[in-house]
Chains A and B, each alone.
Chain A
Amino acid sequence: MELRKQQDPNIAHEIPDEWFTPKNKDERAAEAVVRPSLSYWKDAWRRLLKNKLAMAGSLFLVLLAIMAIIGPMISPHGVSQGNLVNQNLPPSSEYWFGTDELGRDIFARTWYGARISLFVGIVAALIDFIIGVIYGGVSGYKGGRTDHLMMRFIEVLYGLPYLLVVILISVVMGPGLFTIIFALSVTGWVGMARIVRGQVLQLKNHEFVLASKTFGTKTPRIIRKNLLPNTMGPIIVQMTLTVPSAIFAEAFLSFLGLGIQPPLASWGSMANDGLSSILSGHWWRLFFPALFISLTMFSFNVLGDGLRDALDPRLRG
């Protein structure tokens, strides 16, 4: 008991008498400490900026995109223009990344490959997004029997081995860029549709949506303030992670000879061409396409991870 501070009249009297006056109401309200609340997007942005790996990934992707546009132009050699005299030259000031067995400039071909990879990745992600949002949105919004049937169909598609289907379609339609994108889109949207449906179901009758309605909040505001932050997060992340898997699929098909056809270049077909160079020691023919596929996929993956961490409202701290 002795440990506890008793009200000691002597100490208490050190508190001046004039403090014993009623407190003004307004003054009291002002004293309530209010922590500055960050908006959802600002907060997410702040978290993303703090993620060094994700930032490094984005920087690489920006540089890659710039080089994909201007790279083939600043190279003095054409993409498919070969010169057998210059075959299998190591990297030099003339050919920065060396040449391949047909004397083509690997520097120019690498940036052309970047165009193909980025194009395939982004277009595939966009198509997945469009189909997925429509399919998943309708399924989740309609609910009931429609939802049940639509989900059964997705289950069947989900059971299909994705790359096998892509290979089959490529065989049937003949190789090419359009084929690859088409083949990737046939099964690729399933994941997105599932996510969208889940989000829609969850949000449709969610309490905070209902609460906003009850308070008479206008519809666009509900969408912007409540639905978007909660729905867009997983969708953005899914899109970001679709890109590397599409880039991989393109490279994989091209590596098997089912993708981009010569004389055009894709990282996958360049790696396939470079395969024979393993034994001959022309390492640069394999190294550059391999390096750029890996770096690009790595960048998209870390960016996707960073976005997931940044956009997950449950992780807000």
Chain B
Amino acid sequence: MNDIIIAILRSGTPLVYVTLAGVIAQRAGIWNLGLEGLMIIGACATILGIVVTGSVTLALLIAMLFAVLASILLWFVVEKLKANPIIAGLGLTGLGLGGTALAIQSFFGSQSAVNAPFGLPRLGPAFGAYGVLSILVVLMPVVVFALWFVLCRTRFGLQLSACGQHPFAARSVGVNPSTMRLIALSIGGVLAALGGAELAAGSLQFFGQNMTAGRGFMAFAAVIFGAAHPLGATLAAMFFSVLSAIGIRAQLVFGDSVPHDLIQALPYLATVFGLWLSSRLRGGTAGGITELRDD
């Protein structure tokens, strides 16, 4: 039983951090499809940071810096150059996937994976079987709660939601939606970097090309499934992780009788099902409200 819980926490934690990044962007009115790109930038920068500086703290700071810069780039393209946020987000994902591959090639030649000498600090033997979990796993509930508090229990959070739902309402109380979106995307950059760091250095200690394998898009699905609520989206992300853990188990049990590919597709199928369910429950009004015209 312990090992399945550990497996769920290990696969779920990166997903939750990235989902939270998506939640805050969604609330501010940007459909962030660049999550995949941000996550892999975070993963790559963490491993390269550890290799180059030899310090986990510095590596995490470097990862956050790059993910925040990439988020600011997205903000600039969407808000200042008035690009379609969905296309711009997909572009960011392409930039992340391609840019990280380029980065490790320029550092290490033709390698497609980089190993780090060590990963994130673990809890240690004092926690028994759970000692293999990284500190970011323990930090995750704290971050979820903190984001819930900021988004749902502060005036800042209400103003952020207003920017997403009804930007004109935000402007008419003196809030600048563009500035709020910059703040939201920057916070999202930090969170996505943590998700990437946990993925590459939480249980593993290496970075490989395309290692996010669609987790950023799954996180985005969790944002929609969870109605952009920090707690709801976290639950959705954990639900997807439980399914993928069950999938791995089922693979061991059923082995030959069920096709291996089908079991691996389970979390993704669940994502599609979850999206369908959430749009049914909410009457299909998932579409964003665009800024009302001024006259």
Decide whether A and B assemble into one complex: no
